[in-house]
Amino acid sequence: MSSRRESGTSHHDHNYQYKIDESTRLGSGKYARVFKGKHVKTGNVVAIKRFFPITFDKVVFDREREINELLLYHPNIIMYLYSYWDPGTGHPCYVFELAEGGSVRTYLLTHEHYSEDDAMEIIKGTLTGLEYLHYKGIIHRDIKPANILLKRKSSRHHDTFKWDAALADFGIASELGSGETVEFLYAGTPKYFPPEAIVTGQVGKGGDLWATGIMMHIIFTGYVPWSQTKDEIAMMDEIKQMEFDFRKPQYRHISPNALHLMSNLLPKVEVRPSAHSALDQQVYQWYLTASKEKILNNREFCKWHTPDKTIKKKKNEGG
């Protein structure tokens, strides 16, 4: 693909090139809703993120757009296409490629069981996206199941899992510039905060690896490794003091190489691997010895997450 945007488009133009299908809401958050949409001329189906005017921040909007434009096409990054103001509502919008598989969060809520093989495909895709992102000098800062989307595989190398896991939502992503870290400012999702950021007030590439490790813990065990408290201060205190013991019974169902990768993503930042190192050494080793039949149980995740109406409908339909 030679361009990240439809030909002939320009930013911030009041136009009718894209049309939102209001009946196909894909997701909703604090700042925006995401719908399916279509390019009027070509008929290409896309995802359109429409921001709420009441919480809209143009500086943040432009910064996210600029970061998206730095990222050339990559199978493990959701491709940004365009930004515009909706001619009907006047709301600011982003246009992205459509991830037909939804988010990893939705996948977890609609699959109580899945293979370790499929779970590792999600982790591998996340790490591959981070390897590229970090190479470009950008940190994501909000890696979690809701921000990893599943799109149709770009190759046939892995036949049992038909999706590529791809990074999405660069709303709080940061360029590192000449330094190794940026100011933390408690931006992101507390249960994925890395301990070094809470302690020092600075966050870097290692924070994305830590969050990937927490996401891996959720995918492989069904829960986060600390208490489900709504007290964020107490949670952050727990994160700062957390020491993992992967010899405990709750980890016995995980293959040794998968557990080795998880443990290597979750130590102190000084010894945490880069995305490249994690892929090159540990993910590769897992594939050499993988048990394709090993099944993971995800019932705990389904217990402590309440599916929204879209997810419930998809589950009832067998999606």
162 marked ligand binding residue:
no
Check which CATH number belongs to the domain holding 222 and give it.
1.10.510.10
Q: Residue 95 and residue 84: Cα distance in Å, rounded?
A: 8
* Domain match, 115 and 75 both: no
Is there a domain that residue 77 lies in?
yes
Does 1 fall in a domain?
no
Domain presence at residue 310: no
Beta strands in the chain (DSSP E): 13-14, 18-28, 32-39, 45-51, 80-85, 92-97, 113-115, 138-139, 148-152, 163-167, 174-175, 181-183, 202-204, 295-297
Does residue 189 share a domain with residue 146? yes
Same structural domain for residues 142 and 107? Answer: yes
Question: Over the chain, what is the mean pLDDT?
Answer: 85
Are 70 and 187 in the same domain?
no
Residue-wise pLDDT tens digits, 279-306: 987 777 777 666 656 677 665 555 545 4
pLDDT digits (tens, 9 = 90+) for 226-237: 887 789 999 999
Show which of 97, 127, 157 is a domain's final residue. 97
Q: Same domain for 123 and 268? A: yes
Q: Is residue 90 situated within a structural domain? A: yes
Name the least confident of 8-12, 21-25, 144-148: 8-12
Residue 128: predicted pLDDT: 96
pLDDT of 1 over the 50 cut: no
271 shares its domain with 204: yes
181 and 243 share one domain: yes
Same domain, 126 and 72: no
DSSP string, 122-188: HHHHHHHHHHHHHHTTEE-S--SGGGEEEEE-SSSS-SS--EEEEE---TT-EE-TTSSEEE-TT-S
Mean pLDDT of the 305-309 span = 47
- Report the alpha-carbon distance of residue 70 to residue 47 in Å, rounded: 20
Torsion of CA 155, 158, 159, 161, to 10 degrees: -100
How many domains are there within the chain? 2
What is residue 175's predicted lDDT score, i.e. its pLDDT? 95
Most confident of 112-116, 268-272, 295-299: 268-272
Structural domain includes residue 315 = no
Tell me, yes or no, whether 82 and 115 share the same domain.
no
Residue-range definition of the domain harbouring residue 126: 102-305
pLDDT reported for residue 319:
40
Residue, of 37 and 156, whose pLDDT is higher: 37
Residues 89 and 133 in one domain: no
Q: What is the pLDDT of residue 282?
A: 77
Answer yes or no: is pLDDT of 208 > 90.
yes
Note if the pTM is more than 0.85.
Answer: yes
> Is 175 in contact with 67 (CB distance < 8 Å)?
yes
Tell me, yes or no, whether 199 lies in a domain. Answer: yes
Taking only the tens place, the pLDDT of each residue in 140-156 is 999 999 999 999 987 66
* 35-to-25, 38, 108, 249, 261 alpha-carbon distances in Å: 4, 10, 21, 42, 35
pLDDT tier at 87, thresholds 50, 70, 90: confident
pLDDT over 70, % of the chain: 84
Do residue 92 and residue 57 come from a single domain? Answer: yes
Last residue of a domain, one of 77, 97, 117: 97
199 shares its domain with 54 = no
Confirm if 179 and 136 have CB atoms less than 8 A apart.
no
Which of 97, 125, 141 is where one domain is finished?
97
Q: Does residue 7 belong to any structural domain of this protein?
A: no
Q: Is residue 132 part of a domain?
A: yes
